[in-house]
Amino acid sequence: MSLYNYIYIYIYIDSHEDTKETVRFIQNLAHTDGKLRSPIDLNISHMKVVNLNPIQWVNYNVTPKKLKLSNTGYTVMLSATWRKEEPYLYGGPFISSYVFSQLHFHWGKTDMDGSEHHIDGGSMPMELHAVHYKSDYGTQIAALRQHDGVTILVYLFQLQAAPNPLLDDIINTLPFIQAANSSIRLIPFPIINIMRCFQHDYFVYWGSITMTNIRNSVLWLISREPLGISIDQIAEFRTLCDERKMPILTNRQPLQDRGNRNIFHVCPSGSRYATLLPISRDGDDKYIPQDDVNNSDK
C-alpha cells in the first residue's frame, strides 16, 4: 500500500471518529439543554458550526396506504399509515433512526406573526413541525417517556405573492374540517411533497415542550431554507374552529429565553451573513430529490 493510501485511511478514520464524538456530545445534551423550554429565537451569530454525516431520508417518497387530515381543535395535523415502508431518518445528529409520526402547523393572528421559533428577533408567517420518534422505543407514546425519544423537523414559511401549489392538497381540504375533532381522508401522496429534504445546512438544538400535560425533551432540527406561502393560503387556516366553535386565530407557543444552551449550525453550505436562506426557486423537483431520498427496498 502506498504512503498516500495510508495517509488517506488515517485522515478518514480520524474524521469519522470526530464526527461520532460530535454526535455523542449533541445527544448527551438531552440531559441538560433538553430541560430548557422551547421555542427560541435563532440567530446564526450565536451558533456553533459542526460537521456531521448527511441525514439519510428513507421512504419519504413512498405513497402511503392512507392519508388523513385532521382539525384537532388546536392545529391541522396530517397523519398516514403505510403498508410496510414507514419513512424514517438516520445519520446527521442521530445515533439511532427516527420514524415519521405526523406533521402539523402553527400560525398567528397576523401574516407576519405566526411562527413559534423566531429568526433574528422577529417572527415568521407560519411554521410546520414534522414529528418523529425514536424507532428503538416502538411507538411515539413510549418514546415520549424517554429523554431522547422525539425529534421535530421545523420548516419556517416566508410570504410570497403566488400561492404555493405544493400546499394545495391541504389548503383545498380545510373547508371540510372546519369543526374541531373532524377529519377527512385525502388521496394519498408522498409526504415529501410538502416538506423538503435537507442533509446539510440546518440548525440543531435541544429544548422541551409540553405534550399530553407532560414536559418532553425534543431535539429540534430547523431547515435553513424556508417554504413559500401566500397571504390567502395562510388566511384559510384561521377559518378553522376550536372546541368552543371559535376561530383558531393563533396556536403558537410563547417565545422562551435562549439561555446558555448549545445551538449548532450543521455543515453550512455558503454564506453565514443571514440566518435563513431565500426561498428556493429551483422548481418542484427540489421537494423530491431522488438522489437524497432513499427507498429501503432498493
User: Max Cα separation, the chain?
Assistant: 74
Q: Which residue has the higher pLDDT, 17 or 133?
A: 133
pLDDT above 90 for 2: no
If we measure between CA atoms, which residue out of 217, 209, 201, 218 comes closest to residue 264? 201
- Residues 170-212 have pLDDT tens digits of 999 999 999 999 999 999 999 999 999 999 999 999 999 987 6
Average pLDDT, the chain: 90
Q: What is the pLDDT of residue 290?
A: 40
What's the whole-number mean pLDDT along residues 272-287? 72
Q: Which three cell numbers stand for residue 65?
A: 396506504
- pLDDT interval class at 15 (50, 70, 90): low
pLDDT above 50 for 117: yes
Domains for the chain: give ranges and CATH numbers: 15-266 (3.10.200.10)
Distances (CA, A) of 82 to 76, 85, 200: 20, 6, 27
pLDDT above 90 for 291: no
- Residues 35-82 have pLDDT tens digits of 999 999 999 999 999 999 999 999 999 999 999 999 999 999 999 999
